[in-house]
Structure 1
Amino acid sequence: MSLWTDQTFIDGQWQPADSPAARINVIDPGNEESLGHVPDADATRMQQAIDAAATAFTDWRHAAVGERADILLAWYQGMQANREDLARLMTREQGKPIAEARGEVDYAASFLRWFAEEARRTYGATIPPEDPTMAIGTLREPMGVAAIITPWNFPLAMITRKVGAAIAAGCTAIVKPASQTPFCALALARLADDAGMPTGVFNVVTGAGRQFADTVCADDRVRALSFTGSTHVGRSLLAQAADTVKATSMELGGNAPFIVCEDVDIDVAVEAAVAAKFQTSGQDCVAANRIFVHRSIYDAFVDRFVARMDAMPVGYGLDENNEIGPLIHTDAVADMQSLVDDARDHGAVIHGRDQSQAPGPQFFMPQAIAGFTHEMRIATEESFGPVAAIAAFDDDADAIAAANDTIYGLASYIYTHDDARIRTFLRGLDFGMVGINTMDITGPHVPFGGVKQSGLGREGAHVGIEEYLETKYYCIGNAHR
């Protein structure tokens, strides 16, 4: 079965571009070759998707939870059966190394299975009444049409984590994938169709993000808006969604601290820090951007971190040996170089291979900025690439204060074996997620989300489905009294 398609999926139908000019060229970031074109849908086409989802919601909201669960499970099984094809497609349009792409396919599919099970657990409550002749309680009901905007760094998982919850709740969905990675989203639509998804329940529209946001935010029938992306864009979407008072869930930027205390095994901490920083070539909102190491082990940590970093093979993602792939575009390469140059100008020591060794214009050789300070941009800006900033700390309170000195509050990491220290850091770190002696903090069972300007709401776990449910209160009186 071929998963490749270059058409949008609306109301159960595959629709081509309106004209050759109304198409978006998708580039393989690893070799700069064109992978194909997808429609650049206009407002009319996007409105058609809203119409389809609104019509489908009339019946889907009343579908038995077993039916919803069975379709999600069939979709999950389709992803598993096509794991290698999905992974290779992802590597070609996103660039991540093939081993990571396979991991994302598994991760993405797991949300469909998880929410198939959660569909059966959208419980209401019985409330003890003041008057014993009355019955009081709550029901959980689907909100309606959900508009979902997803990023390019996790082109499968960010869709299934949102859509799995929405569809399990009884909502219908319209997905606008990133223009850099639309083919993964369209492959998901093909698998959803094969799984028996009813017409109009799941729609994928490719095109300009601004046009999509304008269209869905202005339509009262779209009751929920979920977005993963930059804090800057998230702020704009929140303002637009306010006009029609939509329920919003936002997973925005991050600038995760990674704190290493002196009582841990340095080699273990180095391996974890490297993994936490360089997965997805550093293009990850939970990446360990700022690494704080106790001064007593700082020099040894930096030496080993740099040695491990410099040993990471960099190259095209379909080569099984490579650990670092390309960045999504050349502007991202320029951004990384700008952060490194700024840190060097402010006195930091830069470690890493020379950029002349990069295998192509969209690759950036991993760099470590040793001795970063708050005056450097790397301290406050999210470094969305293979650039790690490392600084020494002397006092736990100072480490916590430095870690919290950011507008972001998504993920954080702490390595120590001292129980009292663990409790201090756990309570002191102002982040939605804290990994303690592990960097592997995600999964379908995890309430993923942040505080401060890292977003609103949670995805995954038992709370992920809550983003797409309304609470309806009822009070039944005694008419014969």
Structure 2
Amino acid sequence: MVVDQKVNGIYIGGEWLDAHSTRPVQNPATLEKLTEVSYGGYDEANRAVAAAKSAFPEWSTKTARERSTFLYKAYQKMMEKKEVLARTLTLEQGKPLSEAMVEIESAASYLLWYAEEANRVYGELIPSSKANKRLLVVPQAIGVIAAITPWNFPASMVTRKLGPALAAGCTVVLKPASQTPLTAIEIVKVFEEIGLPQGVLNLVTGDAKAIGDAWTENPDVKLITFTGSTEIGRQLMQKSAQHIKKLSLELGGHAPILVLNDADIDLAVDLTIASKYRNCGQTCICTNRVYVQNDIADEFISKLSAKVGEMTIGNGLESKTTVGPLIDQSALEKVKEHVQDAVLKGASIARGGREWTGDLEGYFYEPTILVQVNKEMKVMQEETFGPVLPVDTFDTEEEAIRLANHDQYGLAAYVITESTNRAFKMMEALEYGIIGINDVFPGAAEAPFGGMKESGLGKEGGKEGILEFVEMKYVSLGVRI
């Protein structure tokens, strides 16, 4: 199914613009070309910044209630168009349509939350130690922000940045992933349809390096918010240092799930599958490693393997599909490399372990379970970003904590237990920014999302999320007594 022959993916100052070149967008399940999208670069990126800078004074001085109204209208429009948006998302990204629908609803929820939160960015009156002074803290929008979003959640990662930025009074330049620009284009059209003032939101699809270089070098960009790999996050930090830009980074993860021996095993199996194989394992907070207590390990692995074997691989547009494709050939090769490395180092394949060769030409790999794993394997140290689940065992809680804590990553971790005491002990000892206790879907618009260590800086979501986009201006006012 072809979306269109050509799509303009550059939106600057309220106008959709063409570019000198285009890039094809394909369906990763069928390898069918969906369309060609405008491919911008350094010049377009800087033009977008200029438009955003021009729009900033008027947008930032609107009342919080006025900005809130635009966000609420965008939320309503997204919900009206959720079926069309979900289908677009599945076509270009591959995830099952049911998952895409959940993502669109989640994406819209960030606009709703920040429509409300726009009115709650409070300042402060500080009791002064001197009678002739009044001390105030005044929040103000930071300026033009650049948002760079990934392909694995091409809707929710966009609105998770747009919602708080626009609510705070910032103007935005947005670059979506080259593999999945169509969803972002449709979201920008939503804002266009509800009458967002020109220049407040600008979009540039195109060359990631050229656009990133433009925005790190341009002093008019005051903050870069990025979701992606730790490696690219490091590069953005280095390049942004010349202007001491503020950064909000949600980076790589390697989430463990700890299954304690008092857990409901059936629940533990269901939660593990839901976490690991959602979006074909291409989720920053999905389970990357399972640690199950020895005395329940055999039963857990047996039930896990049986249920994983019931999953249906296929085109995300088919209602029976529970596991879609990987995003591209390089993602498929990485999965194959990690499985091969694990087997060479002693792992056994309990389920899957092969590239799927069904009736589709896309980038498919069987949902896989590895046992007899060890920490020397890549799959136990690096983010696979695919449907491969290594299962290890432990005896004591202290051992589980030691195994689960990762030297580099600290984004999310999960614990399955029926004991409140054990839950608190694990939660306090695990070195991760997000902890799920009997819950593997912790993301919510009303809660702060972000990692520790090399998994990122700052928070997205919650009341904390909007504070990334404001500067707290301190005012000391002398008064006559």
TM-score, normalised by the number of residues in structure 1: 0.97
1:202 CA displacement: 0.5
CA contact (8 A) 1:380 1:406 kept: no
Q: Tell me, which stretches of 5 or more residues in structure 1 are unaligned?
A: none
CA–CA separation in structure 1 for the residues paired with 2:42 and 2:229: 23
Give the letter aligned to residue 414 of structure 1: V
Question: What residue number does 1:377 align with?
Answer: 378
CA distance in 1, matches of 2:76, 2:422: 43
| 1:331 equivalenced with 2:333 (yes/no) | no
Do the aligned partners of residues 142 and 37 (structure 1) sit closer, same or farther apart at CA in structure 2, a change above 3 Å counting?
A: same
CA distance in 1, matches of 2:201, 2:286: 31
- Mapped pair 1:41 → 2:43: no
Q: For the residues of structure 1 that align with 2:415 and 2:447, how far apart are their CA atoms?
A: 18
- For residues 136-180 of structure 1, give each alpha carbon's deviation from its aligned partner in whole angstroms, at most 9, with x where no partner exists: 110000000000100000001001001110000000000000000
Query: How far is 1:375 from its partner?
Result: 1.1
Residue 462 of structure 2 aligns to a residue in which SS? coil
Match of 1:442 in 2: 443
SS in 2 for 1:193: helix
Quote the residue 1:190 is aligned against: 189
Task: Name the residue aligned to 1:397.
Answer: 398
1:187-215 CA distance string (max 9 Å, x none): 01111011111100001100111111110
The separation in 2 between residues aligned to 1:419 and 1:9, in whole angstroms, is: 51
d(CA) in 1 for partners of 2:407, 2:346:
21
Any conservation in 1 of the 2:413–2:434 contact (CA below 8 Å)? yes
> In the alignment, residue 418 of structure 1 is paired with which amino acid?
S
| Aligned amino acid, residue 396 of structure 1 | E
Structure 1 equivalent of residue 256 of structure 2: 257
Q: CA deviation at 1:356?
A: 4.8
Aligned equivalents of 1:30, 1:356: Cα separation in 2: 11
Task: Give the conservation status (yes or no) of the 8 Å contact 1:357–1:365.
Answer: no
Q: How do residues 263-282 of structure 1 correspond to structure 2 at under 5 angstroms? A: 263-282=262-281
AA aligned to 2:451 is G
How far apart, CA to CA, are the structure 2 residues paired with 1:461 and 1:356? 40
User: How many Å separate the matches in 2 of 1:355 and 1:65?
Assistant: 52
2:362, 2:180 → 1: CA distance? 19
Contact map agreement 1:10 1:49 (CA 8 A) in 2: yes
Q: Is the 8 A contact 2:52 2:200 kept in 1?
A: yes
Q: Percent identity?
A: 39
CA offsets 1:40-99 (integer angstroms, 9 cap, x no match): 112221111010000000111101111100000010011000010000000000000000
SS in 2 for 1:447: coil
How big is the alpha-carbon RMSD for the aligned residues of Structure 1 and Structure 2? 1.2
Match of 2:339 in 1: 340
* Equivalent residue, structure 2, for 1:72: 71
- List alignment gaps of at least 5 residues for structure 2: none
Query: 1:454 corresponds to which residue?
Result: 455
TM-score (normalised: structure 2): 0.97
Offset at residue 355 of structure 1 (A): 3.0
Tell whether the 8 Å contact from 2:258 to 2:414 is kept in structure 1 after alignment.
yes
Q: Which amino acid aligns with 2:234?
A: R
- Secondary structure of residue in 2 paired with 1:462: helix
User: Are 2:28 and 2:362, in contact at CA under 8 Å, matched by a contact in 1?
Assistant: no
- Deviating above 6 A after TM superposition, structure 1's stretches of 4 or more consecutive aligned residues are none
CA separation in 2, counterparts of 1:288 and 1:137?
45
- Asked if structure 2 preserves the Cα contact closer than 8 Å seen for 1:256 and 1:410, the reply is yes
TM superposition shift of 1:132: 2.3
How far 1:406 sits from its partner (Å)?
3.6
* Structure 2 equivalent of residue 203 of structure 1: 202
2: CA distance between counterparts of 1:371 and 1:140? 54
> Which one-letter code corresponds to 1:196 in the other structure?
G
Q: Secondary structure at the match of 2:8?
A: coil
Match of 1:413 in 2: 414
More divergent stretch after superposition (174-183 vs 342-351):
342-351
For 1:127 and 1:234, the matched residues in 2 are separated by: 37
Please state whether the residue corresponding to 2:463 is helix, strand or coil: coil
Deviations 1:283-320 (A, max 9, x none): 00001010000000101111111111111100000001
Distance 1:356 1:363, change over 3 A: closer
